[in-house]
């Protein structure tokens, strides 16, 4: 049997939120992965360029990446509700949500403060000042946490696409 007229709006709404969810993932992952490239280019070019690259990452993160990650949570919850998916019955979904929570905590508690400190040190160096901390040490710690956040994000994408066990 074909779709009834009542099913069409629900299917349309579900697909609309699915597209938003996918677009949010593309934006969040794409920009997150690019941060390492921006930082490496800034480090290789010079002190002023490094500070510019780090400021740009902060700007993009506030206006694009973080809103995209929030969109993921909102559209994901809406999709679960619209499709009637049993959260606890889907291992891949439970693991993905758990990783999302871990990712959010690590991004807020570890990566963001280190990135802010890295930017402050880079701006001091660019201004010709002597920083009170070793830039390379802070940059290395920020890079390590950034890689962890990106790897968790990519793991979530793999789980969402492959839906193991389904």
pLDDT in tens, 59-106: 999 999 999 999 999 999 999 999 888 877 889 999 999 999 999 999
Cα-based angle 166, 79, 26 (whole degrees, multiple of 5): 85
Q: Can you give the pLDDT at residue 165?
A: 81
Domain limits of the chain? 7-161
**What is the predicted pLDDT for the residue at 41?**
96
Rounded to two decimals, the pTM is 0.86
Whole-angstrom distance, CA of residue 152 vs CA of residue 100: 8
For residue 1, pLDDT beyond 70: no
Residue 157's Cβ-side half-sphere holds a number of Cα atoms within 13 Å equal to 18
pLDDT in tens, 107-155: 999 999 999 999 999 999 999 998 878 999 999 999 999 999 999 999 9
Q: HSE, CB side, 13 Å, CA atoms: give it for residue 102.
A: 15
């Amino acid at each position: 049997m074909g779709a009834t007229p009542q099913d069409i709006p629900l299917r349309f709404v579900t697909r609309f939120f699915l597209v938003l969810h996918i677009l949010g993932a593309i934006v969040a992952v794409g920009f997150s992965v690019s941060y390492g490239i921006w930082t490496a280019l800034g480090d290789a070019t010079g002190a002023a360029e490094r500070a510019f690259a780090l400021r740009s990452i902060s700007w993009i993160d506030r206006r694009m990446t973080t809103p995209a990650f929030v969109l993921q949570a909102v559209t994901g919850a809406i999709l679960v509700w619209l499709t009637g998916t049993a959260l606890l019955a889907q291992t891949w979904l439970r693991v993905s949500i758990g990783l999302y929570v871990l990712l959010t905590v690590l991004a807020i508690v570890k990566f963001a403060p280190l990135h802010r400190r890295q930017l402050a040190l880079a701006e001091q160096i660019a201004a010709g000042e002597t920083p009170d901390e070793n830039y390379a040490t802070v940059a290395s710690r920020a890079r390590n946490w950034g890689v962890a956040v990106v790897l968790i994000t990519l793991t979530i994408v793999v789980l969402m696409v492959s839906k193991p066990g389904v």
